[in-house]
Amino acid sequence: MSESFKETTILEKANAQGGIKKVLIFSKISGPGIWLTLAALSAGSLIGSLGLGQWLGTEALWVQASAMLLGIFSLWAVSQISLNTQQSLFSLMKNEWNPSLAWWFAGSALVTNFAWCMPQFRFGAEITGSILFPPLDNKGGKIGVAFVLLCLSIFLSFWYERSGLHSKLFQWILRLILFSLIGCLGVSVCMLIPGSGLSFSSIFSGFLPDLNNLTNTSPRFEALLSQTGEFRSFWEENLVSRQKELILITFSSTLGVNLLFSLPLLLLGRGWRRDHNQFAKFNLFLGLFIPFVLCSSCLTILSAVAHQKMIHSLNEEVSVNTKYSESETIRNLLKERIIFEIGEEQFQSLPPFQQDEKIESLSKPNYILAHLVSQSDTQKWIHYLSDSGKEPVKYLLGIVVLLISFSTIVILMVLNGHLICEILGKPHKGAPFQTGSLLLAVSSIGPFVWSDQDAWVADPSYFLSLAIIPYILLSFLLMLNSKELLGRQYPQGIKGFSLNVGVCLSFLLLGSCSFYLVWNHTWGSFPIGQVLVTLIGILVLIGYFSLKNKKLAQRLKGLEVRLDRVDQLKNK
């Protein structure tokens, strides 16, 4: 009996039961929700959670939770479209909707896979050396860890396409990784919350969206800001600016275009059909939304606890004579603070040693704020949390980061194998699938070749994929309600209304946020974001009219054939 037939039998039994029994029966089927969760819980999501916890504490819990909820509606729409048409999004867009958008969508997903995969090797290698196994805390050790991660990821990704025992083991390994992540994070939170001063009321209220976070500094900085005197406005402006940027970037990038592109391939690859529609929705909420929110929320809460310990530690450690030179980012920020006080022209007129003296003369609150405004460091975050006598926390969080890195690499290899097969029009198995998976092996050398990979790889690829989001989400909304595509299967009734409302909100909120970030993105003085959005818009219009003309030509050709047949019948 095939796996697809077994699942169909289970679904029929579940639909006949209803209620809690239905949910329990659904839980016997392994859907792609867990895979998407492990892909979404990447190094980028980790940094976003740490940044939100550092800047806003538990007030920021709503950011990733609400972004994923909106993303769930988009994924729900994608599953409805694909399962009802039995076509992938790429195939449907290329042949029936907009070929230009389809190819840009595929290209963005491919670039995103590489951009997401690359930092995982660095994170996994650094955490293993600095936290879990100190003898590997050197360049050779890090390369060795990255190589091991790559080999294990390739090994498991090849298991995915096999049937029988290998496929089941692959799914159980992913489940084990996810349960381990939830367990390690849950235990860490339970160990650290009692002495942190955080209340459960503040945690639960943090899930309520608060747009004041975009315009006002968090109360957690008030004690430091009050000590900066007349230069408080400088630090408030920097805090609000970076706080706003962090919220918008984290909100818009919680769900990537690669996951939107890949979901139909995972569904159709398992032989799912219309009968799986209800379960697909269930799996997205239970397998993706709940685990992701649990893990990201725990990371944010732990970061909020670490922030408190960080301020206490910096008060004791920061030396106004030496600490400013530890980081170029911190030094540049302190330099901006001096320029704010005396002006650009006067500062540049000073010789270098006097510029250093000016920076060294700043008070300790300025140095602490400069440290806090700078980018989060995962290793320091773990050490701050373990300094309170909770030594096991250090190893638990080290395991968390390593599992996040490893699982993300494995899932992205699987998704990239599907993507390459889809682009080439090949069966999703064998050599084409394995070649697509192995392409991501190239990303393993990135962290060890490019010292500034964020500037040359991560940032461009991020905005390249972000630029397509508004167009893609709008297409989902239109395709979902297209009778030409879905026929009688287009969403109707209360379920259809709720799905349309969710997808519409997703387009308005996620789409507008993405559009804002890309439109205001520049390379120096060149408005690259505006050019990119305009270029995509032009290509989408070209794709729309070219496909429309192609369909019209096909209809005219069909009409001509019919007329020729009529003429032949008359002549007879």
Classified by CATH at the fold level, domain 31-320+363-521 comes out as Hydantoin permease (1.10.4160)
Report pLDDT digits (tens) over 393-438.
Answer: 888 888 998 999 999 999 999 999 999 999 998 888 888 888 888 8
**What is the per-residue DSSP string for 496-541?**
HHHHHHHHHHHIIIIIHHHHHHHHT--BTTB-HHHHHHHHHHHHHH
**DSSP 8-state secondary structure symbol assigned to residue 324:** G
User: pLDDT at residue 71 above 80?
Assistant: yes
Identify the pLDDT of residue 74: 92
Identify the pLDDT of residue 448: 59
C-alpha span between 540 and 542 (Å, rounded): 5
* SS3 at position 226: coil
Q: 523 has which bridge partners? A: 526
Torsion angles phi and psi, residue 523, rounded to 5: -110, 95
CB 66 within 8 A of CB 209: yes
Q: Is 395 exposed, middle or buried (0-12, 13-18, 19+ CB in 10 A)?
A: middle
From 50, 80, 58, select the one nearest 377 (Cα to Cα): 50
C-alpha span between 385 and 192 (Å, rounded): 8
In 41-98, alpha helices (H): 43-56, 61-85, 89-92
C-alpha span between 367 and 7 (Å, rounded): 60
Higher-scoring residue by pLDDT: 375, 339 = 339
**DSSP 8-state secondary structure symbol assigned to residue 375:** P
User: pLDDT at residue 88 above 60?
Assistant: yes
Query: If DSSP states are collapsed to H, E and C, what string results for 94-155?
Result: HHHHCHHHHHHHHHHHHHHHHHHHHHHHHHHHHHHHHHHCHHHCCHHHHHHHHHHHHHHHHH
> 244: number of CA atoms within 13 Å, CB side?
15
Q: Show the tokens assigned to 251.
A: 């909100």
If you search the block for the tokens 């799905």, which residue do you land on?
499
Identify the pLDDT of residue 320: 45
Torsion angles phi and psi, residue 374, rounded to 5: -65, 165
* SS3 at position 66: helix
Per the prediction, the chain carries an average pLDDT of 82
Identify the pLDDT of residue 254: 84
Alpha-carbon distance values, 23 to 28, 29, 117, 293, 428 (Å): 9, 10, 34, 20, 31
Q: 526 has which bridge partners? A: 523
At residue 389 the predicted structure's pLDDT band, cuts being 50, 70 and 90, is: low
User: pLDDT at residue 126 above 80?
Assistant: yes
CB 248 within 8 A of CB 517: yes
User: pLDDT at residue 456 above 50?
Assistant: no
> 21-35 in b/e burial notation, b at 16+ Cβ within 10 A?
ebeebbeebbbbbbb
At residue 22 the predicted structure's pLDDT band, cuts being 50, 70 and 90, is: low
From 261, 248, 210, select the one nearest 101 (Cα to Cα): 261
Mean pLDDT (whole number) for 352-359: 80
C-alpha span between 43 and 124 (Å, rounded): 9
Report pLDDT digits (tens) over 502-523.
Answer: 999 999 999 999 999 888 888 7
Mean pLDDT (whole number) for 210-219: 84
C-alpha span between 48 and 54 (Å, rounded): 10
Residues 6 or more apart from 2 whose CB is under 8 A from it?
271
From 384, 380, 331, 340, select the one nearest 360 (Cα to Cα): 331
Identify the pLDDT of residue 420: 92
Residues 6 or more apart from 3 whose CB is under 8 A from it?
163, 167, 270, 271
Query: If DSSP states are collapsed to H, E and C, what string results for 219-240?
Result: HHHHHHHCCCHHHHHHHHHHHH
> 348: number of CA atoms within 13 Å, CB side?
3
Alpha-carbon distance values, 297 to 206, 207, 405, 407, 427 (Å): 10, 9, 18, 19, 39
C-alpha span between 464 and 442 (Å, rounded): 20
Query: If DSSP states are collapsed to H, E and C, what string results for 429-454?
Result: CHHHHHHHHHHHHHHHHHHHHCCCHH
Higher-scoring residue by pLDDT: 488, 351 = 351
Report pLDDT digits (tens) over 225-242.
Answer: 888 888 888 888 888 888
Using CA atoms in the order 255, 259, 264, 268, what is the torsion angle rounded to 10 degrees? -130
Identify the pLDDT of residue 1: 43
Cα four-point dihedral sign 427, 430, 432, 435 = positive
Helices and strands counted in the chain (H then E): 30, 0
Cα four-point dihedral sign 453, 459, 460, 465 = positive
Q: Show the tokens assigned to 455.
A: 């500037």
Q: Which range in 20-34, 110-124, 414-428, 536-550 is most confidently predicted, on average pLDDT? A: 414-428
